[in-house]
Amino acid sequence: MGYLVEMGELFLAGNYKREPIAFIRGFGTRLFTEDGEEYLDLTSGIAVCNLGHTHPELVKVLKEQAEKLWHTSNLYYTEPQTQLAQKLVENSCGDKVFFANSGAEAVEAALKLARRWAYENFGKEKNQFIALYNSFHGRTYGALSVTGQPKYWEGFEPLVPGITFIPANNKKALKSAFNEKVCAIIMEPIQGEGGVYPLEKDFIKTAKELCEKYKALLIFDEIQTGIGRTGKLFAYEHFEIEPDIMCLAKALANGMPLSAMLAKDEVISALKPGTHASTFGGNPLACAVALKVLEIVSDPLFLEEVRLKGKIIKDKFETLKEKYPQLIKEVRGLGLLIGIEFHVEVKKIYQKLLEQKILTTTPKSNILRISPPLIISYREIDFFMEKIEEILKILA
């Protein structure tokens, strides 16, 4: 056990189940430990470092901004923040942007906006939310309250009232849940923490139609799926609908703390001075980095590569599924957000990969999640798949 691991165990809170590994630097898809060991990172810090670690262009703009301005407060405008807001609006279905620091904060802002919008337009009785089972939206009380996994609630109840949960892709339950008191429905286009379960296009389309019928808002949580992860800049583009509110974070600034809530003009106009705020939200450092991230990721050729790489990985796993049907149950996902569901617990597979210096995540006991930096090379994909097949051969 290295020095940093020992110090971490002594002084850090125990709310994370950490591996006894301490990283001190990274470059591209690789991370390096205090002992000099090299790991292939197929997690991207949980879908955060879409452009990998210490991307030279991002480091350059960060250094340049660090010599100009770090913070002013949101009582004033700054150049990086206004430019980033413009870039996000020009490339999305949103009309205006609110910046915060984390995904949970973006979700909190979306929930508050939905209730405020409904209050101003229809009165205080229209305050109910619909959310999906197996979803994950964050750890703060509002975000936790619309997270449809009771294991995260334990010890923290009572939660925020007024939430109705329904199964994903169940149109009958969806229709039954809607009424005049619903102000919004919140959903992830792909349930990432739930095990990489994409929502069906028809389910999302029906939700949008019901929102229009009952004068409610459709909130898309794109915290994991946004910024190129699925092969589109935003995942809603796969489903041929536009949400009224969209939450972004994680990959927006490639690891710098930054989140955003985008909304239509007629909705976000409910956020008047004093209704919501964030001290550090949209700070110049993070916004400068995010501008460069969007410039790189929004390139159609870059996004086409993401789709191709994702298809290659999925196709290779489908081939392995045919060879090892007793082990692999299903392969799911879009772009480079991929979940492999097994008939067995994946702890051994995860540990074997870790021994081979490959980092993955396990959102559920039988699911392995792959979310590598979008810049992963075809050679690295081949290397990973070779190691996976070696492990499956042993387990078969």
**Which residues are the active-site residues?**
136, 221, 250
Cα separation, 224 vs 222, in Å, equals 5
Cα separation, 232 vs 307, in Å, equals 8
The number of beta carbons lying within 10 Å of the beta carbon of residue 360 is 21
CB-based contacts of 121, cutoff 8 Å, min separation 6: 215, 270
Phi (first) and psi of residue 33, to 5 degrees: -90, 170
Rounded to a whole number of angstroms, the distance between the first and last alpha carbons of the chain is 33
Cα separation, 396 vs 344, in Å, equals 11
Give bridge partners of residue 220 from the DSSP assignment. Answer: 187, 246
Q: Which of 43, 40, 38 is closest to 361 using CA atoms?
A: 43
Cα separation, 245 vs 228, in Å, equals 18
Q: Please give the structure tokens belonging to residue 186.
A: 């919140």
Query: Which residue carries 């070779």 as its tokens?
Result: 386
CA distances from 109 to 35, 89, 219, 272 (A): 42, 17, 11, 13
CA 85 to chain centre: 19
Cα separation, 180 vs 281, in Å, equals 34
